[in-house]
């Protein structure tokens, strides 16, 4: 007796329902801290949504009021009604561009690099059902952001302009269909690329490209601050995002037409919007069976790239003698492994690129130049040292919080080795501290030469960076060992939520306190004498010892009691 195979939508519904049951049971049977954190995140999102709704309504009503009482203030920007009509189109387009650029990475991680694909693709459901279920499941986060951030802002806009209830109904359906267009394009491109490029290699390349794109956005945002933003020229540039030929503009016109009761415009642009979003999504599902299955099979048959014999063998006797101690051997191995992972390497190079950009700003920006270069301003000096510390802290946080987790499932080899847990932790700590003597020294010396600092001031700034690095490395390494994650499948998911949250709060608070103590002591010494200067440095050293010892002690205890 044979049973009929489920339909595409029936198989997708079965998978999605099973995933929902797993998520629900994991929540109800999870720890109380996880439940509380989930509820807290939900409350924060609700508060943020309400704040965006109120702020959007306040801004629109404020501009309308300004146009009524002082129309000359808005004349240089043109008709205010023209801008209000283009606001939904501009917002939808600005949200869609990042989604389109990240859609390839989204499709790659959802459709090819997920851990449960081996099980799903051998279940008695069509391949298109698996594709559809993974596609829709991956959109959950996107929809959460859209309806928590974008929907309240547009709802406040519609409320301020007095649109009817149809605007809010159209807003719901427009946002429901909006992610389908860019993500479908990304899925099609991903399925084509995976036929020629291994999925894991493509992931590494996309990570580097994403880092470069993020750096370009950061540089662009910094350059915009060098001139006034609220100018007619920038307003005209913003209006260029209202392109009538884009589907996002069609969706915006659907909302406005529904709010104003323009049925003809609603039918025309509603039809175009439905055809562009649902049509491309249907095409993506139709082409998924052959492209998706072929790409997944080729990925499953690869061994993860070329085999480097020298990278996979153990240390030779000469290399072992050159490391000197077990601590040196662990540190040397980590230094050799880090550059081979493009994802981790991009996370380390991004802060370096930021530091180079800041130094370039110091040299080329005339206003920044007059405020800092050659000026005996203690506040400006502290600000520049804070820049160097920020760069080093970003790098050290990644190295420290993932120090023990980088061992992965082979952590038992390190634990069974005849070395103490403190040796392992000190090796991880030393790796997290290295950015401060290497990058921090270069940053402080470069800015010190540009500012023509005296030798004693240069030494004090350098000591501040080195001592702060001791505490930051202790916090990150200790918390990374206290809350490790050894079952990670992707390098960007080595950190646990507890280690990331606690670590970020603690090392930023600690770094701020160190800057405040040292710079405050410098100002206080001018009024009350040198004893305040010594007291500030003494307090900073005591704080550093606590930041080093307490997290490391907690990490050593957790590592010693680790069950393998």
Mean pLDDT over 10-38 rounds to: 81
pLDDT > 80? residue 492 = no
Measured in whole angstroms, the distance separating CA 333 from the mean position of its chain's CA atoms is 28
Mean pLDDT over 92-106 rounds to: 79
Same domain flag for 350 and 265 = no
Tokens encoding 25: 């049971």
In a domain, residue 401? The reply is: yes
Q: What is the pLDDT of residues 375-407, one digit of tens each?
A: 445 555 666 677 778 888 888 888 888 888 888
In a domain, residue 307? The reply is: no
Of residues 312 and 137, more confidence is placed in: 137
Worst-scoring range by mean pLDDT, 126-140, 196-210, 449-463, 480-494? 196-210
Worst-scoring range by mean pLDDT, 17-21, 324-328, 426-430? 324-328
In a domain, residue 257? The reply is: yes
Q: Distance between CA 493 and CA 134 in Å, rounded? A: 19
Residues 6 or more apart whose Cβ sits within 8 Å of residue 468: 389, 436, 510, 511, 514, 515, 544
Note the pLDDT of residue 318: 46
In a domain, residue 341? The reply is: yes
3-state secondary structure of 27: helix
Residues 6 or more apart whose Cβ sits within 8 Å of residue 115: 489
Q: Identify which of 266, 57, 51, 50 has the alpha carbon closest to the alpha carbon of residue 161.
A: 57
Same domain flag for 253 and 348 = no
Same domain flag for 225 and 285 = yes
In a domain, residue 538? The reply is: yes
Residues 8 and 126: beta-carbon distance below 8 Å: yes
Residues 6 or more apart whose Cβ sits within 8 Å of residue 208: 342, 345, 346
pLDDT > 70? residue 333 = yes
Note the pLDDT of residue 300: 52
Into how many domains does the chain fold?
A: 2
Show which of 300, 335, 369 is a domain's final residue.
300
pLDDT > 60? residue 368 = no
In a domain, residue 514? The reply is: yes
Same domain flag for 268 and 363 = no
In a domain, residue 227? The reply is: yes
Same domain flag for 554 and 474 = yes
Determine whether 246 is exposed, middle or buried from the number of CB atoms within 10 Å of its CB (0-12, 13-18, 19+): middle
**Which of 25-39, 101-115, 176-190, 193-207 reaches the highest mean pLDDT?**
176-190
In a domain, residue 310? The reply is: no
Q: What is the pLDDT of residues 49-86, one digit of tens each?
A: 999 999 988 888 887 776 666 665 555 555 566 677 77
Note the pLDDT of residue 62: 80
H-assigned helices in 434-529: 435, 441-451, 455-482, 497-528
Note the pLDDT of residue 549: 92
Residues 451 and 375: beta-carbon distance below 8 Å: yes
* pLDDT bracket for residue 245 (50, 70, 90): confident
Same domain flag for 281 and 364 = no
Same domain flag for 359 and 495 = yes
Residues 323 and 419: beta-carbon distance below 8 Å: no
Range of the domain at 394: 324-560
pLDDT > 60? residue 104 = yes
Residues 6 or more apart whose Cβ sits within 8 Å of residue 324: none
Task: Give the Cβ contact number of residue 215 at 10 Å.
Answer: 18
Using alpha carbons, list the distances in angstroms from residue 292 to 10, 99, 180. Answer: 19, 21, 18
Q: What is the pLDDT of residues 170-199, one digit of tens each?
A: 999 999 998 888 888 888 888 888 777 777
Of residues 234 and 447, more confidence is placed in: 447
Q: Report the chain's mean pLDDT, rounded to a whole number.
A: 76
Residues 446-473, buried b or exposed e (16+ Cβ, 10 A)?
Answer: bbbebbebeeeebebbbebbbbbbbbbb
Helix (H) / strand (E) element for 350: namely helix 342-364
Same domain flag for 140 and 77 = yes
What does R_g of the chain's alpha carbons equal in angstroms? 28
Note the pLDDT of residue 238: 62
Tokens encoding 152: 């309240």
Same domain flag for 266 and 378 = no
Note the pLDDT of residue 6: 64
Q: What is the pLDDT of residues 436-465, one digit of tens each?
A: 888 888 877 777 777 676 777 778 888 888
Residue with tokens 């072929």: 294
Note the pLDDT of residue 304: 44
Q: What is the pLDDT of residues 519-557, one digit of tens each?
A: 777 766 666 767 777 888 888 899 999 999 999 999 888
Measured in whole angstroms, the distance separating CA 501 from the mean position of its chain's CA atoms is 14
Considering the entire predicted model, what is its pTM?
Answer: 0.61
Same domain flag for 53 and 113 = yes
Determine whether 101 is exposed, middle or buried from the number of CB atoms within 10 Å of its CB (0-12, 13-18, 19+): middle
């Amino acid at each position: 007796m044979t049973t009929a195979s489920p339909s595409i939508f029936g198989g997708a519904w079965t998978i999605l329902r099973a995933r929902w049951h797993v998520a629900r049971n994991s929540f109800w049977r999870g720890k109380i801290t996880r439940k509380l954190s989930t509820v807290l995140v939900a409350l924060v999102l609700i508060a943020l949504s309400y704040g965006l709704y109120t702020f959007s309504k306040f801004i629109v009503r404020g501009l309308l009021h300004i146009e009524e009482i002082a129309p000359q203030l808005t004349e240089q920007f043109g008709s205010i009604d023209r801008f209000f009509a283009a606001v939904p189109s501009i917002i939808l387009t600005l949200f869609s561009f990042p989604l389109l650029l990240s859609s390839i990475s989204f499709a790659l991680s959802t459709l090819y690099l997920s851990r449960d694909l081996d099980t799903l693709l051998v279940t008695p459901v069509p391949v298109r059902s698996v594709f559809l279920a993974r596609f829709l499941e991956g959109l959950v986060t996107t929809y959460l952001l859209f309806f928590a951030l974008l929907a309240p802002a547009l709802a406040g806009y519609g409320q301020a302009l007095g649109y009817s209830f149809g605007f809010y109904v159209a807003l719901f359906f427009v946002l429901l269909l909006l992610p389908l267009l860019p993500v479908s394009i990304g899925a099609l491109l991903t399925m084509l690329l995976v036929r020629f490029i291994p999925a894991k290699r493509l992931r590494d390349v996309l990570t580097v490209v994403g880092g470069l794109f993020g750096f370009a956005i950061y540089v662009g945002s910094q350059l915009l601050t060098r001139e006034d933003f609220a100018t007619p020229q920038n307003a005209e540039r913003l209006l260029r995002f209202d392109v009538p030929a884009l589907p996002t503009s069609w969706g915006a016109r659907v909302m406005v037409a529904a709010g104003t009761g323009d049925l003809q415009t609603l039918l025309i642009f509603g039809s175009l919007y439905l055809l562009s979003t649902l049509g491309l999504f249907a095409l993506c599902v139709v082409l998924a069976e052959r492209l998706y299955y072929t790409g997944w099979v080729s990925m499953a048959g690869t061994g993860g790239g070329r085999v480097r014999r020298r990278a996979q063998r153990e240390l030779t006797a000469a290399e072992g003698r050159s490391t000197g101690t077990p601590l040196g051997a662990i540190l040397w191995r980590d230094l050799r492994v880090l550059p081979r992972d493009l994802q981790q390497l991009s996370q380390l190079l991004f802060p370096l690129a930021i530091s180079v950009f800041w130094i370039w700003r110091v040299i080329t920006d005339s206003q920044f130049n007059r405020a800092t270069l050659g000026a005996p301003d203690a506040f400006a000096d502290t600000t520049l040292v804070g820049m160097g510390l920020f760069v080093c802290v970003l790098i050290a946080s990644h190295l420290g919080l993932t120090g023990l987790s980088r061992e992965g499932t082979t952590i038992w080899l390190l634990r069974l080795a005849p070395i103490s847990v403190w040796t392992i932790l000190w090796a991880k700590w030393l790796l997290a501290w290295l950015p401060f003597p290497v990058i921090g020294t270069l940053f402080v010396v470069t800015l010190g030469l540009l500012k023509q600092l005296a030798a004693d001031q240069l030494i004090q700034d350098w000591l501040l960076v080195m001592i702060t690095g001791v505490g930051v490395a202790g916090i990150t390494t200790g918390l990374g060992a206290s809350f490790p994650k050894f079952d990670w499948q992707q390098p960007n998911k080595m950190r646990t939520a507890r280690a990331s949250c606690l670590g970020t709060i603690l090392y930023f608070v600690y770094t701020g306190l160190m800057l405040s103590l040292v710079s405050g002591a410098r100002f206080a010494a001018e009024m009350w004498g040198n004893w305040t200067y010594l007291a500030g440095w003494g307090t900073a050293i005591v704080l550093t010892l606590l930041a080093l010892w307490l997290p490391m002690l907690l990490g050593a205890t957790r590592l010693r009691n680790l069950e393998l």
